[in-house]
Amino acid sequence: MSDKAPLLMVEGLNVAYGRSQILFDVDFAAQDRGIVAILGRNGAGKTTFLKALVGEIRPISGRIHFAGEDSQDQRTEQRVRRGLGYVPQEHAVFSSLTVRENLRLGAIGERDDSALDEILHLFPKLGQRLGQTAGTLSGGERKMLAIGRALLGRPRLLLLDEPTEGVWVGLIEDIVDCLCRLAPRHSMILVEQHLALALRLAERAYVLDRGRFVVGGTSAEVREHPKLLGYLAP
């Protein structure tokens, strides 16, 4: 890890839905560049963790520091304005709007089309479908659109929840290639069920099990952990 202060620092995070506690005393850090993967079986708390970071769920206790500020009492829109981007697992695009309209929503505040041109260069398939409604896109194309729209907000930290879920295998590598190109310039937290893909992309990885981080380290260290597959088994 870098000696520089982390872009994101989470300390003692506890999160619950009603009386059901999901996360327990979670500590976590992400630096200003690169990809961190969060692994775990369904129900381990991965999506809950991302929602707590972006402000969709209010923790019971703990602290979330982002870009040098305490984010605990900030609303989701405030966190987004400060540079936190979020691509949820589902419902990440407006199906009735065109691709162009979806992207324009992400580009609010931009004075020219240079940022949009960057996204279309990153995802050429979107450029071929600008007038098409998002609801008619394939699963992979919708994921590309959601990532592109989030990037147009110029986030310092991008949260990605299962970006390859439901994506045709022929498009997965397009998304992987995009994330590899973004990693040197962005910080990303990647929740991903595809173990080999996640560890290939990420510099560091953490495993959530029953709401607690039980394994963490470089991707190589996590890959070799003797209990890794047991923590990920259904």
Residue 166: predicted pLDDT: 84
Query: Residue-wise over 24-59: b if at least 16 C-beta within 10 A, else e?
Result: bebebbbbebbbbbbbbbeebbbbbbbbbbbbebeb
Q: Which residue has the tokens 């003797």?
A: 226
CATH class name, domain 8-95+156-232: alpha beta
Q: Map out the domains of the chain as residue ranges.
A: 8-95+156-232
20-50 confidence digits (pLDDT tens): 999 999 999 999 889 999 999 999 999 999 9
pLDDT the model gives residue 109: 63
What residues in the chain have per-residue pLDDT under 70? Answer: 1-3, 109-112
pLDDT at 111: 57
Q: What is the pLDDT of residue 7?
A: 95
Single-letter amino acid code for the residue at 197: L
Q: What is the pTM of this model?
A: 0.92
